[in-house]
Amino acid sequence: MQTIKGVLAAFIGVQSDNNRKIDFEQGSLTTYIIAGLIFTVLFVSVLIFIVSKIVGN
């Protein structure tokens, strides 16, 4: 759960310095990379869906 919270906070740019340090000390790099990729794909997919609904294609 800490990984998800850390990735989401970093993704939107509100990660505190203290939490960032905790993430680097306790988290696995592989876990953060995978979580980051998953959230990036989800974010882009949602944007594509919203734009396609607005444009009407």
Conformation bin of residue 27: beta by default, left when phi > 0, alpha when psi is -120 to 50: beta
- What pLDDT does 49 receive? 97
Closest CA to 6 of 29, 38, 19: 19
- What pLDDT does 46 receive? 96
Domain that holds residue 29: 2-55
- What pLDDT does 14 receive? 79
Which residues in the chain show pLDDT less than 70? 57
- What pLDDT does 57 receive? 63
- pTM of the prediction? 0.70
